[in-house]
A = this chain, B = another copy of it.
Amino acid sequence: MTRLTKRQFLRLVGSAAGVAATYHTMNTLGLLGPESAQAATPDLPDGSGYGRRVVILGAGISGMTAAYELSKAGYHCTILEATGRAGGRNLTARAGDVIHEVDSRQWVDFDHEDHLYANLGPARIPYHHRIILGYCKEFGVELEMFTNDNRGAFFHNAERFDGQPVVGRRVMTDQRGYIAELLAKAINRNALDDDLTADDKERLLPMLVEFGGLDADYLYAGSNRGGYQGESVHAGLAPGDVNDPLDFSELLRSEFWEYKLHFSQFLNQNPTLFQPVGGMDAIAKAFETRVRRIIRYNSPVEEIRKTADGARVVHRNQRSGVSEALDADFVICTIPAPVLKDIPNDFSPETQAAIESVAFVPAVKIGFQARRRFWEDDHAIYGGISWTDQDITQIWYPANGYHREKGVVMGAYIWDDFPGQGERWANMSLPERLRTAIAEGEHLHPGYADEIESGVSRAWLKAPYQLGAWPESYQPPAEILAPDGAVYFAGDQITALPGWQEGAALAAHTVVNSIHARVMAG
Interfacial residues of chain A within 93-152, with CB under 8 A of chain B in the complex: 126-130, 133, 136-137, 143-147, 149-152
**Quick one: given A149-B271, A271-B147, A384-B272, are A235 and B496 in contact (CB under 8 Å)?**
yes
Number of interface residues of A (CB under 8 A): 103
Interchain nearest-CB distance for A500 vs B (Å): 8
Interfacial residues of chain A within 141-173, with CB under 8 A of chain B in the complex: 143-147, 149-152, 169, 172-173
Interfacial residues of chain A within 9-42, with CB under 8 A of chain B in the complex: 18-20, 22-23, 37-39
* Segment of A70-78, A245-253, A351-359, A417-425 in the binding face: A245-253
B143 in contact with A145 (CB, 8 Å): no
**Quick one: given A224-B267, A225-B265, A403-B143, are A238 and B151 in contact (CB under 8 Å)?**
no
**Quick one: given A173-B265, A272-B383, are A200 and B249 in contact (CB under 8 Å)?**
yes
Interchain nearest-CB distance for A380 vs B (Å): 5
Q: Which of B19, B133, B145, B173 is A238 in contact with, Cβ under 8 Å?
A: B19
A151 in contact with B474 (CB, 8 Å): no
Complex contacts, A371 vs chain B, CB 8 Å: none
A236 at the interface (CB under 8 A from B): yes
A236 in contact with B383 (CB, 8 Å): no
A519 at the interface (CB under 8 A from B): no
Complex contacts, A185 vs chain B, CB 8 Å: 191-192, 195
Complex contacts, A319 vs chain B, CB 8 Å: none
A326 at the interface (CB under 8 A from B): no
A236 in contact with B497 (CB, 8 Å): yes
Interchain nearest-CB distance for A488 vs B (Å): 13
Interchain nearest-CB distance for A120 vs B (Å): 22
Most chain B Cβ neighbours within 10 Å, of A39, A147, A402: A402
Interchain nearest-CB distance for A494 vs B (Å): 7
Q: How many Å lie between the Cα of A262 and that of B177 in the bound state?
A: 12
Complex contacts, A19 vs chain B, CB 8 Å: 237-239
Complex contacts, A208 vs chain B, CB 8 Å: 179
B211 in contact with A383 (CB, 8 Å): no
B211 in contact with A257 (CB, 8 Å): yes
A5 at the interface (CB under 8 A from B): no
Q: How many Å lie between the Cα of A267 and that of B475 in the bound state?
A: 40
A189 at the interface (CB under 8 A from B): yes
Interfacial residues of chain A within 375-403, with CB under 8 A of chain B in the complex: 380-384, 399, 402-403
A237 in contact with B192 (CB, 8 Å): no
Complex contacts, A381 vs chain B, CB 8 Å: 127, 272
B37 in contact with A128 (CB, 8 Å): no
A497 in contact with B234 (CB, 8 Å): yes
**Quick one: given A20-B239, A227-B267, A265-B225, are A147 and B150 in contact (CB under 8 Å)?**
no
B265 in contact with A39 (CB, 8 Å): no
Complex contacts, A502 vs chain B, CB 8 Å: 234
Interchain nearest-CB distance for A343 vs B (Å): 24
Complex contacts, A481 vs chain B, CB 8 Å: 237
Q: Which of chain B's residues has its CB closest to A384's CB?
A: B272
A192 in contact with B200 (CB, 8 Å): no
Q: Which of B234, B257, B261, B497 is A129 in contact with, Cβ under 8 Å?
A: B234
Interfacial residues of chain A within 451-477, with CB under 8 A of chain B in the complex: 474-475
B204 in contact with A252 (CB, 8 Å): yes
**Quick one: given A151-B270, A186-B182, are A210 and B127 in contact (CB under 8 Å)?**
no
B143 in contact with A127 (CB, 8 Å): no
A3 at the interface (CB under 8 A from B): no
Complex contacts, A230 vs chain B, CB 8 Å: 37-38
Interface membership of chain A positions 206-234, coded 1 if the CB is closer than 8 angstroms to chain B and 0 otherwise: 01101101000000000011110011111
Most chain B Cβ neighbours within 10 Å, of A176, A197, A252: A252
B474 in contact with A239 (CB, 8 Å): yes
A80 at the interface (CB under 8 A from B): no
Q: How many Å lie between the Cα of A514 and that of B383 in the bound state?
A: 35
**Quick one: given A271-B149, A494-B237, are A252 and B183 in contact (CB under 8 Å)?**
no
A175 at the interface (CB under 8 A from B): yes
A506 at the interface (CB under 8 A from B): yes
Q: Which of chain B's residues has its CB closest to A207's CB?
A: B257
A510 at the interface (CB under 8 A from B): yes
B183 in contact with A179 (CB, 8 Å): yes
Q: Which of B210, B233, B261, B382 is A258 in contact with, Cβ under 8 Å?
A: B210
A274 in contact with B497 (CB, 8 Å): no
Complex contacts, A382 vs chain B, CB 8 Å: 127, 145, 272, 274
Q: List 8 A-B contacts (CB under 8 A).
A: A128-B152, A179-B180, A179-B183, A211-B262, A225-B265, A234-B268, A237-B494, A237-B506
Besides A144-B145, A236-B497, 18 more A-B contacts (Cβ < 8 Å) are: A38-B230, A133-B380, A147-B147, A151-B271, A169-B267, A173-B265, A176-B265, A179-B180, A186-B187, A200-B248, A211-B261, A225-B266, A227-B267, A234-B497, A236-B506, A237-B481, A237-B510, A271-B271
**Nearest 4 Cβ contacts at the A-B interface:** A191-B191, A186-B186, A235-B496, A145-B145
